[in-house]
Every structure is written in structure tokens, then in C-alpha cells.
Amino acid sequence: MMIIMKPDATEEQIQHVVDRLAGVGARGHVSRGEFVTIIGAIGDREQISTLPFDAMPGVDRVMPILKPYKLASRQTHPDDTVIHVGSCSLGGGAFALIAGPCSVESEEQYMKAARLARDAGASMLRGGAYKPRTSPYSFQGLGEDGLKIMAAAREETGLPIVTELMDPRDVEIVLRYANVIQIGTRNMQNFQLLSEVGKVERPVLLKRGMSATIEELLMAAEYILKEGNSDVILCERGIRTFETATRFTLDLSAIPVIKKHSHLPVVVDPSHATGKRDLVLPLSLASVAVGADGLLVETHPDPEEALCDGSQSLPVSEFAAFATEIRRYVEMGGRRLS
């Protein structure tokens, strides 16, 4: 951290900052320039950050040198994190195609989607058993019965399953079934939930809050990492903007920005981002091009009859052609579909 003093800061004020640093076991390295003095704080970052520099007389401003998300940052972990889920990998050149319905509605519906996803070469299955619906009157998911159907689909297809956890009270039950725990956009800053999934040994797919900045997403990941769970997959799923042509606005620039600052893998959810099935393929291809490590795509055997998000779901009959296009683009970039 660098503490920049005001041009008219006195010697006493400079010494006061140095003394306060010494008080927390840190050292202040004083550089005197022609106009301003800068004090470099050297020592334990957590201790230093407890000091109220902005309130100290003579201090102009404080500039952090390290990112506030120290575990998620590339500064402390330069290599890409690769996450292994069953035989599938994500990150470091391995690309994951995760597909399935928004919600598990019935065994017949889910099995059909799962079989076709497997036949098309998907890496993992998605599906919601606990659904975060805007309206309390909408279908809320099948709960544990939905998880059981997903487990049966995993049994038959061999594909790992990704499903959302909404409530810390359901951690145990979701852990009994899920290979990857999803935290949805509406819970990105549910810090208690983040801390709970930080304590378990299961990869977490953390979706960006619809109104969260990239830094806020990385700070949310930090809550999980801090508890000891290092398997965090970030997900860009569209943010709120003034544009109404799509459900949200897919922030494509977030992918290279996150990958520049963080070692964690990033997947894109073009289904929720756009809300429109015809936009899923072009934005998926764009996501591959900007360096995403995977895609999370909604499919349905009969989108017209879907209980949730039918308009953005690809009919399962079209998924094989979609997957072929994705594989072509992934391989064109020298990567492989995992």
C-alpha cells in the first residue's frame, strides 16, 4: 500500500503515519519527492489495512498495490487454476460444455435432455431443483425429488451434475447429489451461503450478480476461497443495463478482464444473458473467442411446454448441431472440449 501525503504535509504528520505503521508491526518507507512525500507500507497486509490512513492529518490518498481479492488474484497465483469434476476438466485449455434444462420438471423430461446432451458430447449436466424465481407464484422446483432425478441421469450418462443451492440449510442435502454446487446471480453476495460452500470439498460455480461489478464478483469468490475451498468457477451470465432488446446484457469484456486479474476459470451462460434462443449460438461462439473456459446452456425436450425459461432454451433436437459448432471453435483456438 502507498500513502500519498499532501504537498504541505508536515514532518510531524509524516512521522505520525510511520509511527502508526510501526504500531501494527509494519514499516513505513518514506520517499521524498520534489512536491510530495510517499510512504510505502511494508508488512502484514491485514494489519496495515486496519489503519485509518484517510483520517490521518496530512494524508492526501491511499493507493493499494495488491488487489483486495488476494486468493482469487493472479498476483499471488500466476498459473490458471484447472478444476477437475469426474473425468471433465475446466481451465488451462480444457473447455467444458454444460447443458440441460433450467429446472428438473419430471424424470421423462430430464432423462431425455440428459441422454441427448451426452450423445452430443456435453461435459456436464445442469438442472435446477431449488429455483430462485422472481415470483413466489412461479414453479419453485422439485426439491430433493429433482436432485434424485439428476442423480439417476448421472448414473445413466456418466456425466457430472451441476445444480443450484439457495439456502445454507440445504447444504447437506445438495452435497449428497451435486458434483458442482451453483450459486445463482441473486445470491452472489449472500455471504453466509458463500462461507458455507467455502467449507465443503466440492467445486462451486459462482454466478455474477446481475448488478455486480467484476471486482465484487472476485470479492464474492474470495469468501469461498478464504474458507479453504479452492475450486471456484466464475460465471458471466449477463448484467442489468438500459438495453431492453435482451433479458440482460452479456458482458463479453468481463471474460478477458477476469482472466487477466484472476487465475480462476470463467464460464459463460448465454441463455440467461440473452433470454432468447436464437442468440445463444452467436454469443456462445463469441464467448469461446474471448477466452471463456466453458458454457452453461439451457436445453429442453419441448421448450414450448417448459415450466421455466422456455424462450431461451435450445430444443434438445438442436443441441448436437450446437455442440458441433462449439467444438469446432474451441479446437480452432487450440483448446479441447473436455
Residues 142 and 114: their CA atoms lie apart, in Å, by 17
Binding status of residue 272 toward ligand PEP by CB under 6 A:
yes
In the chain, what are the helix, strand and coil shares in percent, each to the nearest 5? 40, 20, 40
Q: Looking only at residues 232 through 271 of this chain, which bind ligand PEP when binding is defined by CB under 6 A? A: 237, 269
Considering only the stretches 163-171, 238-246, 255-263, 307-315, report the one whose residues sit in contact with Mn ion under the rule CB under 5 A.
307-315
Minimum Å gap between C-beta 274 and ligand PEP is: 12
| Position of minimal CB gap to ligand PEP | 184
Which is closer to ligand PEP, CB of 157 or CB of 182?
Answer: 182
* Buried residues in 234-244 as b, exposed as e (16+ CB within 10 A): bbbbbbeeeee
Contact indicator for 14, 22 with CB cutoff of 8 Å:
no
**Residue 207 binds ligand PEP (CB under 6 A):** yes
- Kind plus residue range of the DSSP H or E element containing 200: none
Site for ligand PEP in 147-166 (CB under 6 A): 164
Choose between 103 and 262: whose C-beta lies nearer to ligand PEP.
103
Binding letters toward ligand PEP, positions 62-101, x by CB under 6 A: ----------------------------------------
Q: How far is the CB of 6 from Mn ion (least distance, A)?
A: 52
Can you list the positions of beta strands (E) in 258-312? 266-268, 294-300
Residue 8 parent element (H or E)? none
Q: Provide the minimum distance between the beta carbon of 316 and ligand PEP in the complex, in angstroms, as a whole number.
A: 17
* 3-state SS, residue 217: helix
Q: How many helices (H) and strands (E) does the chain have?
A: 11, 16
Q: Residue 132 binds what, of Mn ion, ligand PEP, none (CB under 5 to 8 Å, by partner type)?
A: ligand PEP
Check if the beta carbon of residue 1 is closer than 8 Å to that of residue 41.
yes
Q: Count residues contacting Mn ion (CB under 5 A)?
A: 2
Q: Say how many C-beta atoms besides its own lie within 10 A of residue 212's C-beta.
A: 18
Among positions 30-49, residues that touch ligand PEP (CB under 6 A) are none
Amino acid residing at 128: G
- 293 binds Mn ion, rule: CB under 5 A: no
Nearer to Mn ion, 196 or 309 (CB): 309
Q: Name the minimum Å distance from CB 225 to ligand PEP.
A: 20
What residues between 97 and 136 interact with Mn ion by CB under 5 A? 102
How far is the C-alpha of 163 from the C-alpha of 177, rounded, in Å?
9
Q: Grid coordinates standing for 31?
A: 520517499
Nearest Cα residue to 118 out of 104, 98, 103: 98
Residues 105/306, Cβ–Cβ less than 8 Å: yes
**Residue 309 makes contact with Mn ion by CB under 5 A:** yes
Minimum separation from the CB atom of position 294 to Mn ion (A) = 17
Residues 105-144, one symbol each (x = binds ligand PEP by CB under 6 A, - = not), give: -----------------------x---x------------
Residues engaged in binding Mn ion (CB under 5 A): 102, 309
- Residues of this chain that bind ligand PEP (CB under 6 A): 102, 128, 132, 164, 184-185, 207, 237, 269, 272
